[in-house]
Structure formats: structure tokens, C-alpha cells
Structure 1
């Protein structure tokens, strides 16, 4: 089976909003993520993907987990990092041309969003100090 390795970023701001992106063929939202390139660490990939997909520079705060699933015939391994933005967005500059929108989504409304990867909800909420009852 083919393998794919990637990184994903969970970035939560001071207003308890998480940075999410939407692709051009979908109404579903996901955290910024992408494939690890040759010679790149999972950390480097995470930082690059956030910059390309959202325009934000980020720094990694901690490694969260590694999600391993089989998707469309691929063994997928995605490294999740908690990150923090270090400035304002320079705008989306996605070389793949797949990301059309980046937005801050309120954690309290996270359940109402249409998610590309619903299993990421626990990871996202686990990064927040917000208590959602």
C-alpha cells in the first residue's frame, strides 16, 4: 500500500478561535495541513503549510499526536502540532491552488461546522483552554 506523510497545525488565537482552511472543491473545513517534502522535517512541513495555506507565520509550541488512517488506498500518517501565529497574514499563497479560504472559526461553534476530518475535533478542542459544556 502506498504511504503518505504529512503535518497539520492547530493554531488557536486569544479569542478562542481556531485557524481553518477550505478547499476549492468543498464546503468542508480543516486545519492547515499538507505533505512532507523530501528533506523536510514534520515541523518544517507544518510551518510551511500554514504559511502557504493561510499566510501566517507560526512557531511550534508542542507536538500533539500522530494520526494514522487508511484513506483512498493510502496509509496516511499525519503529525499534529500546536502552533502560535507570530504576525499578521500575508495572504494565501498555496502553490497547489487548492485552498480558497482561510478563516478563524470559534471553538464554541466547532460542532456546527462541516468538517473535512471530523476525527480532528478532539485534537482541536484538546488544545484549547475553553470549557465547552
Structure 2
């Protein structure tokens, strides 16, 4: 069984909205996700997280802390994704994804997220709870 390892960024703005990207292969229905992707040789998970934010959104970010890990399998591949709280430090929204799988960048409110089609539906509850949790009280 093959193994896929990656990182995902949970970026929340001052208004409590989550940075999300609309993604999918050309033939697929497009769905929303937080910026994420696979680790490249020589990268740390934190570096992967920051690179994916930049490639998918045009924003520069810094990792604040690890907040969740998700493991599982899909077909013949096992996956391990580490979710990081990340803070936007610079940049403007620009799609520059080398894979050509990103179609839109947007900041989504908690209410908007309830109705969005998610690339990874199992993430919806975690992300909604995250936006409401005590970690958001600092904003």
C-alpha cells in the first residue's frame, strides 16, 4: 500500500472567516477545502503547509501551531495529513497552483461553510468547531 503525507493550513481572518480554495480535477465537480497538499522531498510538514498556502492562494503565511492529524486510507493509499493553524503575513489572493487544480480563493464565514460542498466532508465539523472554539477568542 502506498503512503501519502501532507499538510493543511487553517487560516482565520480578523472577522472569523476561514481561508478556503475551490479545487478539483477538470472533469470533477469542484469542491471547497483549506489549502493543503503533499510533502516534497526535504521539506518539513510546516514548510509544506506554508508552500501550499502560497501556491494555492498567493498568501505568505507562518505556522502558529499543530492542531490536528488525520489518517486513513483511500483505495490502495494510506494518508496522513497534519493540520496547522497558520497566520497570513503578506500577499494578495492569486492562484498559482502548479497542478492547475485550484479555481477560486475565498474567505468563508461559518454560516457559508455549512452549505459548501467540501472536498473532504469529514473536515466540515472539525473546521466549524474550530471557528467557534476557545482558540478563536484571542481574535
Report deviation, 1:73. 1.7
Residues 6-85 of structure 1 mapped to structure 2, 5 A cutoff? 6-24=6-24, 25=26, 26-85=29-88
Asked whether 1:118 is paired with 2:131, we answer no
Cα RMSD (Å) of the superposition? Answer: 1.7
Q: Give the TM-score taking structure 2 as reference length.
A: 0.87
Contact preservation (8 Å) 1:82, 1:127? no
For 2:100, which of 74, 97, 100 is the aligned residue? 97
Contact preservation (8 Å) 2:93, 2:105? no
Task: Name structure 1 gaps, 5 residues minimum.
Answer: none
CA distances 1:90-130 after superposition (whole Å, capped 9, x unpaired): 51111111112111111122111111111112332343247
Task: Name structure 2 gaps, 5 residues minimum.
Answer: 135-139
Q: Give the TM-score taking structure 1 as reference length.
A: 0.90
CA distances 1:34-64 after superposition (whole Å, capped 9, x unpaired): 0000100000000000000000111111101
Query: Following TM superposition, where does structure 1 have runs of at least 4 consecutive aligned residues deviating by more than 6 angstroms?
Result: none
Contact preservation (8 Å) 2:22, 2:32? yes
Report what 2:137 is aligned to. Answer: none
What is the aligned residue count? 131
Contact preservation (8 Å) 1:17, 1:104? yes
